[in-house]
Structure 1
């Protein structure tokens, strides 16, 4: 009897687990092993208890207007737990006050009249922003540019500083004038040939049937429940504390993996491998088998961030509007965003209710190449967040519990030319049947994008697998 093909997935984050689940769904005869170097699976999807409420201390929402994440949650047994935010009314903390966030597409204004009414942009800034409607069209045919550079060309510097920067800071923890427009807002770039105005292109990209669909979805109990649910349906053998130290091609086309500590290395053989680790780790593993791809992967920079989650006695917490606020970097504040989790998610509010009710919120700190701001103790980061919250919402009480989650090197930066870099990486890897890559370093940072990259890897892998076993 011929042994079933053995596929090893390196990395137990959501991309690696999604790859295992899709592989099992498509080929139930395949033996799947998932190797995770850390003590637990899940990657940036993580739960912790704060003030008696178990909730997310990593990603806490999934983009609902893409199907991959919600679909995976449902097929993994969490269909009844999928929910949408109670409110997603965001604010900007700008010029020492909280103002409602005007409608934008990743910071690109879609309604100049509403933008003027919001007060976010000064009168001179609005006069400059209005030039978008009359400037000659901007074409990115055959080239890439930063989203900040594109928006500044069309709307002026103030729109970049006050709108684009805080939004990109929330998504990438990066800088608008360095992040690729083609990678960050591909749907808008695709419409630039039809619309001379960037604002009209952005408005068109957010209109139509999709505008009636909730933007985000969550999971009762936290998005951090998703990795465990996916693992259960993946059919995979999952091993934690199992770092992969080396990856080598065998003469027969299979793969040898060296797994474990330097003191106790183990040899594992596989017919095919999916590498679902951060770019730097992937670069190290591919340095011998795909040196060109490894070099490009090593050039992808990452930002480090910290999330400070705090629980307060509900009776002492000030009244707030909306689901939270973003902070433009030009304000020179320490926090870059705050989320009122108890207002955003009904299940969080209900979990904190009781005789001594608590409300839970969180703040994020840290941007690309500003890691020095995170060189403080957990206690100091809490104090920094409280200081800013006192100024922003008038907070004057101490939390009853706190949790600081550091994501060192957690968010890849999609620099100008990112799509070409990814294409180059995949081109070299395509010459090695039985090897694929996926994760946040390639096609998007969000949970749906990571899952989509996993599905793409599996589809490519399956095209080669039957001929090799």
Structure 2
């Protein structure tokens, strides 16, 4: 296993389930700790996630793995509170009934858009039949059907919150696949959104929580998975090259002047696109070229512990998104102590509000070049402007995620299919990670499961050949 993020660790766990206790499973991670972008550390003495803080509960992969590694009793769900949008100087409720910010009926955007913008959106979508045959950038599609205001003030902040990307560059089919399928047959964008809108789900389906978390933070998950996998986890190890041998694969690790060699039967590459491209260059050049074309966005998360009495009114939502068109530094704020009751109770005992502000977007590196103190100050200034907060900061933490989020450009699904076809043609090799099927934890665990199954099938086939 090359890569000790949640993808690599999950793949190791799935391999253990299939291969049994006698199998030797090795995880190589270049960082000093495993977990990748899932990590917990204390702010004001309280455990707060540094990366992802929630799991998609309506997909079974992540929550099933949580239960399997012994954390089932720690599963929690966010409070039933709405989210906001800091637009044109005011925080308003995030409109309901949209799909990634795309409305079925622009009339519902009256609190966010002007009357003129709403009327233009309605008229524009009715002007001509919708014709979409190939993958398109979701932002460009929305602009063509609803106008710039919908794209800039709804779609951009929602997509930016997930991918730290630009709506005019991100693939519709890769980011919102259900909507991508619906627009092929709908007569208008509104009709397509109506066909896939959560409002159309059954009462039973809508009653199920969409997200889950862990008491103590989602960052607890990697350590639990690593322990349950029984793998030999080696941190601080950089894999420099990958070579096929007569019996499997050779991994060259360690410093260039004194390399080490590890011979294995099979390899799962669970690393970002750039690293996978480098390692596959010699043996699977077609896959390497495709992965090398995938760009990534860097971001930072500023976590602030703020005395509650500095707010004019206690925060009561899960947070708010920020349209980039308004020129703010932050792109989103999550009130973690409101969103997660397990954390809120502890924060309230200390008279604190814990919030996380996200910064950084694909193609915008200027703000991330600030030092930690300047970045925290910039985030706090925006929080003050948005909420009227007038108090001091009890504690803060800045977490930087360089190149953390792969950008799903137009044609991304076809690119991933070509990568997998090239890799699948080579025995004993599989890939997984956020670049393939989704950036969320559930998607990464699903890709890890499939990668492990691919390796198990190859090993079984090899064993059968040897036995005959």
Deviation at 1:434, TM superposition (A): 0.5
Partner of residue 295, structure 1: 289
Q: Of 371, 381, 392, which residue of structure 1 is paired with 2:386?
A: 392
* Mapping 1:39-188, distance limit 5 Å: 39-103=32-96, 104-116=98-110, 119-131=111-123, 134-141=126-133, 143-188=134-179
- Contact 2:311 2:387 survives alignment (8 Å): no
Change (3 A) 1:415 1:380: same
- Contact 1:139 1:193 survives alignment (8 Å): yes
Secondary structure in structure 2 of the residue aligned to 1:458: helix
**Counterparts of 1:202 and 1:74, CA distance in 2:** 34
Deviation at 1:133, TM superposition (A): 5.4
**Counterparts of 2:184 and 2:368, CA distance in 1:** 42
Secondary structure in structure 1 of the residue aligned to 2:182: coil
Q: Of 198, 205, 208, which residue of structure 1 is paired with 2:189?
A: 198
Secondary structure in structure 1 of the residue aligned to 2:95: coil
- Contact 1:311 1:400 survives alignment (8 Å): yes
Change (3 A) 1:135 1:15: farther
Deviation at 1:135, TM superposition (A): 4.3
> Over residues 384-419 of structure 1, what are the superposed CA-to-partner deviations in whole Å (9 max), with x where a residue is unaligned?
011111110001112111000000111100001111
Q: Of 261, 266, 288, which residue of structure 2 is paired with 1:267?
A: 261
**Counterparts of 2:193 and 2:167, CA distance in 1:** 16
**Counterparts of 1:202 and 1:455, CA distance in 2:** 31
Secondary structure in structure 2 of the residue aligned to 1:10: coil
Change (3 A) 1:193 1:368: closer
Change (3 A) 1:306 1:199: same
**Counterparts of 2:368 and 2:139, CA distance in 1:** 25
Q: Of 334, 337, 356, which residue of structure 1 is paired with 2:332?
A: 337
Q: Of 256, 278, 285, which residue of structure 1 is paired with 2:279?
A: 285
* Mapping 1:299-310, distance limit 5 Å: 299-310=293-304
Structure 1: tracts of 5 or more residues without a match: 1-8
Deviation at 1:132, TM superposition (A): 6.1
1:218 and 2:202 aligned: no
- Contact 2:9 2:226 survives alignment (8 Å): yes
- Contact 1:132 1:199 survives alignment (8 Å): no
Partner of residue 25, structure 1: 17
Deviation at 1:97, TM superposition (A): 0.2
Secondary structure in structure 2 of the residue aligned to 1:55: strand
Deviation at 1:317, TM superposition (A): 3.7
Secondary structure in structure 1 of the residue aligned to 2:298: strand
**Counterparts of 2:452 and 2:235, CA distance in 1:** 22
Partner of residue 6, structure 1: none
1:407 and 2:401 aligned: yes
Give the ranges of 4+ consecutive aligned residues of structure 1 lying more than 6 Å apart after TM superposition: none
Deviation at 1:114, TM superposition (A): 2.3
1:443 and 2:434 aligned: no
Taking only aligned residues, the RMSD between alpha carbons, in angstroms, comes to 1.4
Partner of residue 466, structure 2: none
TM-score, with structure 2 as normaliser: 0.94
**Counterparts of 1:140 and 1:14, CA distance in 2:** 36
**Counterparts of 1:321 and 1:329, CA distance in 2:** 24
